[in-house]
Chains A and B, each alone.
Chain A
Amino acid sequence: MLDVITLFLFSIIVYNIPLLYGTTGEIMIEKSGSLNLGVEGTMAIGAVAGYLLGMRSGSLLVAVLISFIASGLVGLVFAFLTVTLQANQNVTGLTITTFGVAFYYFVGNAVSNSESKWPALGGSSLDKQFAPLEIPLLSKIPVIGKVLFSHSILIYLGVVIAIVMWLYFEKTNPGLKLRAIGENPGAADSLGVNITLYKYIHIIIGSGIMGIGGLYMALNMGGTFEGSNCWINGYGWISIALVIFANWSPAKALLGTFIFGFFNTLRVQNAPLATAFPKTLGWLTKIPAQFFSALPFIITLIVLILSSVRKNNNSNEPAAIGRNYYREDR
């Protein structure tokens, strides 16, 4: 019985960490006042680039750097279009999603059909570096040890990124300036903050973080390329919803990831839970699977409705989000 609970909690973390990467990356971009709807595509590009070049080099560090750079370049395109050329952010983001997912299939099919074939993850040195790290002593604690202290290094990296980002926003001077840009770029500009530079840097870093999430997804799925099935599989879209759920706070994103993850994992783990606790949780298997799949979106909807109804203005949504800043318009 304890096994079932352990596996359930363990799966929540293992399968939903990409959401944390996607969400924290998107929060960083949105804090600079830009709404990037291209999460799905950005993650797909980071995933495929990081995986292929990482496999070639045999180093997880290289894979992480490549996916960060590849997705960062996508961020650069987004920044150039929306900040420098003042293009519409929604349209640009959607274009990036379409482009990114298509790029994934394009490269994937090309490599699969080439002579060298798609590189298999099983047994490679990348696979070994990605394998879970058992933290001494801590991982021996029953239930909690397995759930919290026996994970791949990329899971811990995701958590560290979320915490560092929270400190950056709340405790540092550049973080404060960044938030000012998101709230009122005109005021920030008048104080001498270099808006263009700030936007560029944070859009690129935010996109790069998403890319690492894509790489994690690739490695966690065993690194197989299936012609018609993308690794990212909608996680980019859920990430955008999670940003709202987390109220633009990286710390709350950590919490939000596990709440979303709870329901996301429940759709698979409902059966073992119902079998292990027939009296209390037996009803879980009576719920149609489609309902579980829809659940994260239903929750987002409820959160959106609640936050719109409340209107007492404790939302942390950057006030200038989605609007391009043009100095002469002030």
Chain B
Amino acid sequence: MRKLVSLVLTAAFAVTSCLSLAGCSGQTAATTAATTKAGETSQESKTPDGSEPAVANIKVGAIYINSQNDTAGYTYAHHKGITEGMKQVGLDPSKDLYIVDNVPEDDEKVKQAIDQLAGDGCNIIFGISFGYINAMKEKADEYPDIIFSHATGYLSNDKNFNNYFGRIYQARYLSGIAAGYKSLALKNDNIGYVSAWGVEYAETCSGINAFAMGARSVNPNAKVHVYEISTWGDQEKERQAAQVLIDTYKCCVIGQHCDSAQPQIVANEKGVFGCGYNSDMTKEAPKAHLTAAVWNWSAYYATAMKAAMTDKSTFMQTVGNYYQGIAAGLVDISELSGNCEPETAEAIKIAKDLMVSGKWDVFSGVKLAFSGAAGAVKVEQKNDALKDNKGEEKVAAGGASVGDDVIQGSMNYYVDGVTQVN
């Protein structure tokens, strides 16, 4: 009897250990398969004759700074852009999209995310946050067969690593026009602007300048008070900054370059007006919101995916480093709300048409000046030097726009009419 029991026990142990071994080896097999798969593809791309067939169906990888389930904000805008872009080129986001989200700007974490996506077999990987820059550059060399595409960055190579961004300042100029009309109507020249950063980043600086120039194209006396909160996102600070601008600086319109809708909500509470960012904030601030500068990332994502599907090897020639604006539909303003003054829509259309046609751009030696009542809004193009707020001339009267490198990288001055309060 005892022997029988021990026999049964031994058999049971044998079976379980076999099973667990099998489980383990199964796992190892899977891992090896993944690695070899990655290895195979890299070999594939090395075939010198380029006989590799055009990739009909690609897998898309995405690395997000916040959650893919966000309902507003930066990650949400990109996620929406990627899924919409995929649908436009005939890919199915539920099958072909691989996401690693909540990835902080930490080289090790980003590299892990890239390895994971490479293991999943992704052919193109998008990283949406600025701080992913070094990890993406490094991994682009390690995986030459995968295209790496980095938002807001400045690094690239000539084979498989590009960066992309857009002329959001054009949209801000247009929202500035809406703010300008409001300030005229309210006979209050003070306009506020809650900004994550000031002149430290060309992105925020050019946005503030464009917004101010848009406002001053309508109301030449408009003054833009900038409150710098020194962080990309802190709801409570954004709220308090807006409060300070309204209560202490008597601002009647609040523009913003920060993550949450708090500045608009405060404007709504205080009975003033505002221009949001990233999404149409009319739903958060129904009585206050005029229009928001928004991104339409799908314009880029569709272009990039299409290029990757046609021929990966020429990606850097067909797409390259991407910097487009309102003409390509990458940036725009949200639908004008009922809070806008009647002249707004016409004036914005005139300015937008000028930008789209390529005949005029914001940071040039030609300034727009709107006049006339609704139905008969006229624009005058005046040769007028672009000056900073200390009076130093940046572009001579009638001169061409500053270069993209300035707008993207080295703009570190406020234009006439802008003051930073803190």
Contacts and interface: CB of A to CB of B under 8 A. Distances in A.
Interface residues of A, number: 36
A319 B161 CA distance: 60
B66 A227 contact: yes
Interface in A108-133: 109, 112-113, 118, 120, 122
Interface stretch (A3-11, A61-69, A239-247): A3-11
B265 A222 contact: yes
A122 B268 contact: yes
Interface in B180-239: 227-231, 233-237, 239
B93 to A, nearest CB: 16
Interface residues of B, number: 41
A285 B260 contact: no
Interface in B282-331: 283-286
B343 interface: no
A265 B237 CA distance: 9
B247 interface: yes
Interface of A is mostly: helix
Q: Which of A4, A120, A265, A268 has the most CB of B within 10 A?
A: A268
A268 B237 contact: yes
A289 B230 contact: yes
A252 B244 CA distance: 29
B70 interface: yes
A15 B241 CA distance: 12
Given A105-B67, A120-B284, A7 B248 contact: yes
A264 to B, nearest CB: 9
A272 B192 CA distance: 13
Interface in B52-99: 66-67, 69-73, 75-76
28 contacts: A15-B236, A105-B67, A112-B71, A122-B265, A122-B269, A122-B286, A221-B235, A221-B262, A224-B235, A224-B265, A225-B71, A226-B235, A226-B260, A227-B71, A227-B73, A228-B73, A228-B75, A228-B233, A229-B259, A229-B260, A267-B237, A268-B241, A272-B249, A275-B421, A276-B248, A288-B230, A289-B228, A289-B231
Interface of B: 66-67, 69-73, 75-76, 227-231, 233-237, 239-241, 243-244, 247-249, 259-262, 265-266, 268-269, 283-286, 421-422
Interface of A: 3-4, 7, 11, 15, 105, 109, 112-113, 118, 120, 122, 221-222, 224-229, 231, 233, 265, 267-272, 274-276, 285, 288-290
